[in-house]
């Protein structure tokens, strides 16, 4: 083999090696960019979930606190004050419902179920509040005693459901944070 052919074959081999190395480098860079993009999307999703869960808990705590305050109002047997307090509670429901809807959209299912359970229990508590107010208006002492006891029990359930939601939401967020760090 003469020197010219050897040089030509060496140049072709070098060019093919350079093309192969360039392709491998480009492929690796592309895969790294895809991995980073997935991590960025996961991080963004985590931040959205944190925001939605926090907004829901804020609305839940405000609504629950307002409903807890009904006990003191009802103890005064003042129907007008009770109606005023119930109306203030009802005015908080749209925000609670709105944030619950966002939780449903964010998921996952166990967190969603806990948010819905909380909202349903709030509805039940409001209904009992109306029954309590009506019993006071009718001066039905037996019904007042029944409803007030049931109200206190449901109010305790509201607190339990809020805690269950917070625990489930926290578990999801911790798990997602760990998966981001592992990637």
Q: Work out the average pLDDT over 126-154.
A: 90
Question: pLDDT at position 23, please?
Answer: 63
pLDDT of 18 higher than 60: yes
pLDDT of 48 higher than 70: yes
pLDDT of 125 higher than 80: yes
Residue 169 burial (CB count, 10 A): 24
pLDDT of 67 higher than 90: no
The 10s digit of each residue's pLDDT in 83-104 is 888 898 899 999 999 999 999 9
Q: How confident is the model at residue 5 (pLDDT cuts 50, 70, 90)?
A: low
State how far Cα 181 lies from the chain centre: 21
The 10s digit of each residue's pLDDT in 103-113 is 999 989 999 99
CA atoms of 65 and 76, how far apart (whole Å): 18
pLDDT of 28 higher than 70: no
C-alpha pair distances (Å), 143 with each of 67, 109, 127, 158: 19, 38, 14, 22
Question: pLDDT at position 81, please?
Answer: 87
pTM of the model: 0.78
């Amino acid at each position: 083999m003469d020197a010219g052919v050897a040089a030509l074959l060496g140049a072709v081999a070098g060019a093919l090696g350079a093309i192969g190395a360039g392709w491998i480098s480009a492929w690796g860079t592309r895969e790294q960019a895809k991995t980073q993009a997935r991590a960025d999307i996961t991080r963004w999703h985590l931040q959205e979930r944190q925001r939605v869960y926090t907004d829901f808990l804020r609305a839940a705590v405000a609504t629950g606190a307002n409903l807890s305050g009904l006990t003191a109002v009802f103890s005064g047997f003042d129907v007008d004050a009770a109606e005023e307090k119930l109306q203030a509670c009802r005015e908080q429901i749209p925000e609670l419902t709105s944030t619950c809807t966002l939780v449903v959209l964010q998921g996952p299912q166990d967190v969603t179920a806990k948010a819905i359970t909380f909202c349903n229990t709030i509805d039940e508590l409001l209904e009992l509040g109306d029954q309590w107010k009506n019993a006071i208006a009718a001066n039905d002492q037996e019904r007042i005693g029944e409803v007030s006891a049931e109200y206190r029990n449901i109010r305790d359930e509201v607190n339990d459901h809020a805690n269950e939601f917070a625990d489930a939401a926290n578990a999801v967020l911790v798990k997602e944070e760990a998966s981001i760090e592992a990637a």
